[in-house]
Structure 1
Amino acid sequence: MGSKEKIKERYLEAKEKSIIRDFYSREIYKGKTYRAANLDKIASIIFAFLFFVMVTLLLIESIALSLIISLILVFLISKVFINIRDHRIDKKIRDINEDLKSKRIIRELSQMNREEFINYSKELLEKYYLSEFIYGEDGIDLIGKINNKSYGVKCIKSSISDRIIRKKVEEFHNYVNYLEYDEGIIITNSYFQDETREETSLILFDFEDIKGILKKIDEYPSDEIINNYIKYRHDDNKKNYQNQIKAFSLKKITRLYFCSIMVYLISYFVKYTLYYRVVAVIIFCIATIIGGMNISEYIKHTSKTPLHK
């Protein structure tokens, strides 16, 4: 592999990581990209530092000592908040991934017809119980033998929002007893009505149980699959950047400009007039830089070539 190919490969890897970071950032921070979220954090740290400097300066009237105390305070507070934030972000990413995996399985199951769902259930139960199941008839979809016990299986393909009523479970229970099976199983891609499990001796598998089986047989969607899904979905999210830049401009940048004006006005009434005016200019510059960077980011995302075609 030549140097150009290596550079291109590294660029694509970095780009893919950037796309994945941006996706999670938008999910966690209500539409903000990873870069915009970090700019927010940097602005907050700088603002906190300037605030501590102004407060300590009023108390001790020493610029050098004020700067040192403010740096220590900001460092300690940032350290605590970063640890808390990292734990919170890790949990949210796990929750987001779990939600995406569930939705992927829901899509797969919803696209099946009843016959396909029976075939899917047959393969699932065979891998889970390590036993063979054959196709049944007359109201029994599958028949299996587990630990020398005969099992009659009913597969109910439904909408994920539906609930399998107790009456349907009771009817199948009676039918299994009538046909003299040792046990009965109902498997569905939706859910059972509340308290149905407590009122029957049948083995009931709902959507959550299907997910549990997939995890046990190591066929649950992996994080790598979800990352690939995020990459391919990336181009569909371009239109969200415009809303993001508007929201940011109206809130954060306006507040920073307002803060800059207030600090500058306060400079007329305090001892260190020049210092306060310098702080006001710094805040003004931060607001301008953040606004400019977000605008450039929006332009970049709306004009760039898609990573995957």
Structure 2
Amino acid sequence: MTPYEAELVVDRRESAAEGVLVLTLCHPLGDPLPAWEPGAHVDVVLGPDLERQYSLCGDPDDRAVWRIAVLREPGGRGGSAHLHERVGPGDKVRVRGPRNHFRLEPSPRYRFVAGGIGITPILPMLAAAERAGAEWTLLYGGRSRRSMAFTGEVERYGDRVTIAPEDETGLLDLGSVLDGVPDGTLVYCCGPGPLLDAVEERCPPGILRVERFRPKDAPRGDGDAEFEVVLARSGRTVTVPADVSVLDAVRAAGAEVLYSCTEGTCGTCETDVVEGTPDHRDSVLTDEERAAGETMLICVSRCRGRRLVLDL
């Protein structure tokens, strides 16, 4: 299925915090935008080699607009600077998606943990948990209060929300929300890598759902080796050398594949596996999805064996 892609118009441009730009996007003809669920993100296509992923942080029931928040990253590759400096009301931005690898699963209880701009996918989750009548809490940290976006929106939930700027309270007290969680609780966390790693260490297996902005160091197998990929739709066989990704190899062979981050974090290149065992090295799939082996992210993952058959 070809994903939705369109030139959307910037309807509003606002500041949500120090260094955080909020863009509200709409269709130029007023057409409704595709439906989405909490945890979804979109690709913002800024040029041939410049795409970035941003979580949708508005109201899923409002099909007229999509809202994204962009943290300015001085050491980044130019995407955030482009949006901060060159995009304003009335400008058009090419957007593709949405896709979702961070869905809010039904549960009677949630513990949400957000760090910095990681609050963005969590925002619509709070509203969904509230509507469902679930028990939930949010622990939200950042460098300082002035750098933390959407604090006003989360504070309206009252004492279920703990806002903990590091310059006021120190590092997040994860034990206060993660130690001794009741059975049936799901933990959702988004933020910088060290925070996610710390939360992973505290959570028992099976209850944690995370979304990463940067790739997690993936364990390697027995060393990279050459293998073959069969493109099931054409029957063509492609050799993947030890130092070349599956994505690059199949694209060089003429296969049309959507991709974006090339780091295993966005999920754009997720491909169905027809036969063979993937060597998963992404930061997107759950342990259950990896064990099933039905899909793989071909920008970073490889093959456990000599041959893969992919739905390409």
**TM-score normalised by structure 1 residue count:** 0.20
Tell me which protein shows more helix as a share of its residues.
1
Higher strand share: 2
